[in-house]
């Protein structure tokens, strides 16, 4: 498939989706969202990759958020119609798809850009990156799950500050509050991203997805329901055969090959 707003590269079974509109700071337009969705669906159904990195083209931005020219045209009717579904479906798909996802945040990561990054399994940032939800400054609020996911990741108090003041924070501040998992020199960012992917590639795909889904369920439900979900996901790991290989490898003092199952 050919794309004009993104590029997709696969190397060593690591797929990299790059948002490629650097002159407009990789602003998320409808065509860009559609292309992202189609690339993600293709990666999920094919067996070409084990994990996905999302990043932005150029040194300046991961994404400066929703395309403000499109925002200008949005109406109450368009917002309440199915036309608007993709804005919430894309992050949800990213969050729950079969493959783990990593946002490599190379610069400004604002509005819908941060909302996409928040839906990834993990996030790392260049030390020059700035992250924020500035929608309030345009007279709107985040519309792709940002108010909900940000509060889950960094807590109500800090999310309230970022959403109501609309001021971006530095990569280092984002790391301190757990919004990103690590900060690197910009030149080292993609290599650091690949290292995380190599670690994921050494895990079993079923236990990796189960681990992510168990954690993902936790903020939404009470502890008993959460533990019940964990128990079923644990059983799924047993059924997958990954436990057999993991435990045998430990007892035989060798490295497990959890991917071959
Ligand atoms: N939507 C559409 N176009 C955008 C955009 C967006 N979200 N963000 C940046 N652009 C465009 C600018 O209009 C400008 O276009 P021009 O060259 O035709 O004038 C171009 O991208 C470069 O932007 P500029 O502001 O000159 O770059 P910068 O490096 O000085 O600043 C930002 C980068 C990200 C800080 C700044 O562009 C910005 O604040 N963008 C809006 C962020 C935002 O409010 N996002 C939430 C949207 S709901």
Measured from the Cβ of residue 245, the count of other Cβ atoms closer than 10 Å reads: 17
C-beta of 24 in contact with ligand 1 (< 6 A): yes
Please give the distance, rounded to the nearest whole angstrom, from the Cα atom of residue 220 to the centre of ligand 1. Answer: 34
C-beta of 242 in contact with ligand 1 (< 6 A): no
C-beta of 86 in contact with ligand 1 (< 6 A): no
Give the number of the atom of ligand 1 that is nearest the alpha carbon of residue 111: 46
* Among 125, 119, 219, 122, CA closest to 168: 125
Summarize the confidence of residues 99-115 as an average pLDDT.
98
| pLDDT per residue as tens digits for the range 51-100 | 999 999 999 999 999 999 999 999 999 988 877 899 999 999 999 999 99
What mean pLDDT is reported for the chain?
A: 96
Measured from the Cβ of residue 23, the count of other Cβ atoms closer than 10 Å reads: 9
d(CA 47, CA 137): 43
* Among 199, 200, 196, 228, CA closest to 98: 200
The pLDDT value given to residue 81: 85
By most ligand atoms within 8 Å of CB, the mutation choice from 24, 29, 64, 108 for ligand 1 is 64
By most ligand atoms within 8 Å of CB, the mutation choice from 19, 25, 115 for ligand 1 is 25
b (16+ CB within 10 A) / e for 191-228: ebbbebbeebbebbbbbbbbbbebeeeeeeeeeeebee
C-beta of 211 in contact with ligand 1 (< 6 A): no
d(CA 159, CA 153): 9
d(CA 249, CA 257): 8
The pLDDT value given to residue 218: 95
| pLDDT per residue as tens digits for the range 79-91 | 888 778 999 999 9
State the pLDDT confidence band at 186, using cuts at 50, 70 and 90. very high
The pLDDT value given to residue 229: 97
Q: Which domains does the chain have, with CATH numbers?
A: 6-201 (3.90.226.10), 205-260 (1.10.12.10)
Instruction: Provide the phi-psi class of 72: left if phi over 0, else alpha when psi is between -120 and 50, else beta.
Output: alpha
Measured from the Cβ of residue 258, the count of other Cβ atoms closer than 10 Å reads: 21
Length of the chain: 261
Give the number of the atom of ligand 1 that is nearest the alpha carbon of residue 68: 1
C-beta of 135 in contact with ligand 1 (< 6 A): yes
- Residue 1 clears pLDDT 80, i.e. is over it: no
Residues 6 or more apart in contact with residue 26 via CB below 8 angstroms: 19, 20, 32, 56, 57, 58, 61, 62, 63, 64, 113
């Amino acid at each position: 498939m050919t794309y004009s707003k993104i590029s997709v590269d696969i190397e060593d079974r690591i797929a990299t989706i790059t948002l490629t509109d650097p002159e407009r700071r990789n602003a998320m337009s409808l065509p860009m969202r559609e292309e992202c969705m189609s690339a993600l669906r293709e990666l999920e159904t094919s067996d070409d990759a084990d994990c996905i990195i999302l990043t932005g083209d150029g040194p300046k931005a991961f994404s400066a958020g929703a395309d403000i020219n499109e925002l200008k045209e949005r109406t109450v009717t368009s917002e309440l119609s199915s036309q608007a579904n993709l804005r919430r479906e894309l992050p949800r798909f990213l969050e729950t798809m079969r493959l783990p996802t990593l946002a490599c945040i190379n610069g400004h990561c604002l509005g819908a850009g941060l909302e996409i990054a928040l839906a990834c399994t993990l996030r790392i940032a260049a030390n020059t990156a700035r992250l924020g939800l500035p929608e309030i400054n345009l007279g709107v609020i985040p519309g792709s799950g940002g108010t909900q996911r940000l509060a889950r990741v960094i807590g109500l108090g800090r999310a309230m500050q970022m959403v109501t003041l609309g001021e971006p924070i530095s990569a280092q501040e984002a790391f301190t509050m757990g919004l990103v998992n690590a900060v690197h020199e910009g030149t080292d960012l993609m290599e650091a991203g690949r290292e995380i992917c190599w670690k994921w590639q050494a895990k079993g795909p079923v236990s990796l997805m189960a681990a992510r889904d168990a954690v993902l369920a936790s903020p939404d439900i009470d502890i008993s329901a959460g533990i019940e979900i964990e128990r079923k996901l644990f059983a799924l790991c047993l059924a997958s055969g990954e436990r057999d290989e993991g435990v045998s490898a430990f007892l035989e003092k060798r490295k497990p090959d959890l991917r071959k199952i």
